[in-house]
Amino acid sequence: MLSILQPYFPGLSERQQAQFDQLAPLYSEWNARINVISRQDIEHLAVHHVLHSLAIAKAFTFQAGAQLLDLGTGGGFPGIPLAILFPEVQFILIDGTGKKIRVVQEISAALELTNVQAAHRRAEEIKMPGRFDFVLSRGVAPLDRLLLWSQPLLRKQHRHAYPNGLIALKGGNLQPEIAALPGNGAAYSEVFPISQWFSEPFFEEKYVVYVQG
């Protein structure tokens, strides 16, 4: 794990290194009990899940005390890797599948991530208006639907370089999704190719997408 991450994130503390190093054995153990990552893909955990999640940190920096919601976190991505990288940022991870949230809770506890809360909730069940600086998502739904779910949850006051909004990990042809955003795509968005930061072939045609809330 560290041999893949450290060239891209050389400033990791000893605690962060230890936490990232625990991810592979923890996910292997829990995935054998509760399948949250496909059996074939667990071998590619470091690149396909952890490094992919951390691409967000190449485009955005979050201030201490920021509140982020990981919408449809699945097995904890991108929330858990980002929570390790940003220990002073608060993360709430939600998913509609209870067994996945159990894995997230167990792994967060094993890593002693005090900045992570995980809850069994669907997006439309979240009643936290105006609480979050950013909503994060990876492969959950089209951008227009993600934005619809996110907007009521976003804080009015902006504290970061980018205004509060949606940050999504996406792949493939994004033009139809961007065109479907409110106002025939007039909503302010920005697309960051992940291949500009990471050299692995997996990241070709994969992007970090920001949409202002």
Q: How many structural domains compose the chain?
A: 1
> Across the chain, which distance is largest between two alpha carbons, in Å?
47
User: pTM higher than 0.85, yes or no?
Assistant: yes
pLDDT of residue 5: 97
Contact 67, 132 (CB under 8 A): yes
Residue 183 sits in a domain of what CATH number?
3.40.50.150
DSSP 57-80: HHH----TT-EEEEET-TTTTTHH
Q: What is the pLDDT along the chain (213 residues), one digit of tens a residue?
A: 989 999 999 999 999 999 999 999 999 999 999 888 988 889 999 999 999 999 999 999 999 999 999 999 999 999 999 999 999 999 999 999 999 999 999 999 999 999 999 999 887 788 778 899 999 999 889 999 999 999 999 999 999 999 999 999 999 999 999 999 987 666 799 999 999 999 999 999 999 999 999
What pLDDT score was predicted for residue 186? 63
Range of the domain at 80: 2-212
3-state secondary structure of 106: helix
**CA 120/CA 207 separation, integer angstroms:** 27
